[in-house]
Chains A and B, each alone.
Chain A
Amino acid sequence: MTAYRFTVNATPVEVDVPGMRRLLDVLREDLALTGTKEGCGEGECGACTVLLDGAPVDACLVPVCQVAGSAVRTVEGLAAESPALDAPPSPRELDPLQAAFLTAGGAQCGICTPGMLMAARAYLDAGGGPDEEAIREAIAGNLCRCTGYTKIIEAIALAAGSGRPA
């Protein structure tokens, strides 16, 4: 086994695990970051979406050896400060994207939400705007069963600055 070094939410980490271990399991079990979820294990639902050097990937399909030297970003890294697990964050501590989801009602059961937020984050970081078709395209790899996507799209458009999808 080799030790793999990379950063998670800007914090350097080193894990000594088999190279084909899924990044999803490294995050959830080895690093105790359970925010990233497993919905299917086959790269179809996007619940495990994280950012790898800024690009959205399904962590269930990424072996940890591919991540060496890269920057991984998860939902825990979105808010300004990582909240304590036993003290729910106040709405003021959320980043603008998370706050937009809260206001617009973009999360219902919440299981797709971490992956959805990361896909939205990548879209906004790449300069994405409030255009509805572009937002639908950006989150096409993230399945949601609760919302019908309507308020997720509104939330992302809100975070993009306009308030309403164009």
Chain B
Amino acid sequence: MIRPAPHVPGEPGVWIFLFGDMVVFGVFFATFMYQRAQAPELFDASRHTLNIAIGLTNTLVLLTSSLLVVTAVRAIRLSQRGAAQLMLAGALVCGLIFIGLKAVEYTGKVTAGHVPTQNNFYLYFFILTGLHLFHVLIGVGVLILLMTQARRRNLTATRMAVVEGGGCFWHLVDLLWIVLFALLYLVS
């Protein structure tokens, strides 16, 4: 069997950013685990006040959006513009659902008195999910950019690489949330 030639997803430079972000978030995750080790009972008790249904739904929503994005990128490669645009719109809707649920979750927590200054768990909860939400907001912008590119008839190699890179950024957002869901909602 002849293996296909290796293909860099996106422009090579985008991986500086993607790996860089993954490493920095890795530092954030480790910082959280360190703080958890200082007060494991507090973290566990606080964890149980989280709305795990929202966390779970958000995880499934992001996973679905990633499937839509990777399929859309393949559709663009195969010049199936209509399908690509449809799927990217779907991914965008998923992104907006995530943001909406986050807003609901934050409001619910704050009105119940769980504010970032309450204890270390909630401090890190709001900061980590807040930084992630910042990435989601940028990701929504990236998805809109991908939708404009999906309208084009012929994409140059650079444009295609930008599309792939943009898709990878969305998968990064999904990937980071997978770890956050595990750390914040399940493990601590």
- Chain A bound to chain B: no
